[in-house]
């Protein structure tokens, strides 16, 4: 049975915030109280814990969301859409690249250097609703 993780009440004077970091990826096991999101509000940066134990099967974003990939490794990478709808091109350690998703859909991507368009190696999926 799938459960949607939704953002809890953040506190009295906090209406919302921007997601700074998604701390989990599809396939990860998740423990209750494990941090899933870092959220930046006008008051503070908040770590949002999971309310359940389970496994991440899907991460969804709303149409209009901008996603930033940060290269925190030691090698260059890319995030290149299989359908060519976005492409960060190859970027270096320490660099960040962004893409904005304006239309709903499921967008598979791969790293030009370490993955393939048919889903092997370094790949990912963005689900926009």
Summarize as ranges the residues that interact with Cu ion (CB under 5 A): 77, 111, 113-114, 122
CB of 29 to Cu ion, least distance (A): 24
- Coil, helix or strand at residue 23: coil
CB of 71 to Cu ion, least distance (A): 9
CB of 93 to Cu ion, least distance (A): 11
Say which residue the tokens 């209750």 belong to: 32
Q: Which is nearer to Cu ion, 22 or 113 (CB)?
A: 113
The arrangement of strands across the sheet holding 45-49 comes to 18-22, 35-40, 45-49
CA end-to-end distance (rounded Å), the chain: 20
Q: Which is nearer to Cu ion, 108 or 114 (CB)?
A: 114
CB of 89 to Cu ion, least distance (A): 12
Say which residue the tokens 């239309």 belong to: 103
Q: Which is nearer to Cu ion, 17 or 115 (CB)?
A: 115
- Apex 72 CA angle, 70 and 74, nearest 5: 130
């Amino acid at each position: 049975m799938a459960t949607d993780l939704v953002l809890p009440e953040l506190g009295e004077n906090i209406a919302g915030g921007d997601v700074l970091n998604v701390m989990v990826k599809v396939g990860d096991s998740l423990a209750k109280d494990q941090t899933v999101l870092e959220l930046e509000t006008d008051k503070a940066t908040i770590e949002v814990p999971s309310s359940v134990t389970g496994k991440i099967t899907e991460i969804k974003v709303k149409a209009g969301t901008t996603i930033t990939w940060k290269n925190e490794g030691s090698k260059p990478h890319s995030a290149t859409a299989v359908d060519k709808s976005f492409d960060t091109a190859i970027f270096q350690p320490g660099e960040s690249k962004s893409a904005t998703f304006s239309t709903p859909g499921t967008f598979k991507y791969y790293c030009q250097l370490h993955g393939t368009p048919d889903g092997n190696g370094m790949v990912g999926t963005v689900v926009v609703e």
